[in-house]
Amino acid sequence: MYEPIFALFCERVKESIQNGTFAKLTLAKTMGDTEIKNIYFRLVLNEDNTFSISLTSRYKTEEIESIHTLDEALLVLGTYIKKPFLTALLFTTDNDVTFKVNKKNAGSIIEQPPTFKNASPVMLEMIEKGIV
């Protein structure tokens, strides 16, 4: 089962935010031709110097944005794994972390050199303001 590996992936997401290395997160590679094409996970700075997560779900004909706490956002992402997304990509300034589920329902995490040299603009602002 992939759930324990996805839980590790979620911990990596939290660590990247705590460490100030978060650049971006997206769900990709759907099973078959689906209405939903991908989901983007972005940091949003609130007026009270806290942060939320914006989840933008891109469908064939529209985009829907919803705002969540970090834990809520990770729970929402979890509901889309295998239904229909097979891959979650976390981009940090340390490395790219890819979570995949195969046909046998096994999860894996692959690390590669970082795509992004800088954390997301909101992450940088959060570091500057001492939020993380």
β-pair partners for 100? 87, 108
Question: Rounded to whole angstroms, how far apart are CA atoms 32 and 61?
Answer: 17
The answer for 105, left when phi > 0, alpha when psi is -120 to 50, beta otherwise, is left
Two structure tokens written together for 80? 């889309």
Q: Residue 57's pLDDT is what?
A: 96
- List the alpha helices (DSSP H) in the chain: 3-18, 70-80, 121-128
* 86-101 pLDDT, tens digit each: 999 999 999 999 999 9
* 104-118 pLDDT, tens digit each: 999 999 999 999 999
Q: Residue 132's pLDDT is what?
A: 85
Q: Does position 67 have pLDDT exceeding 90, yes or no? A: yes
Q: Does position 1 have pLDDT exceeding 90, yes or no? A: no
Nearest 5°: CA angle at 90, between 119 and 61?
100
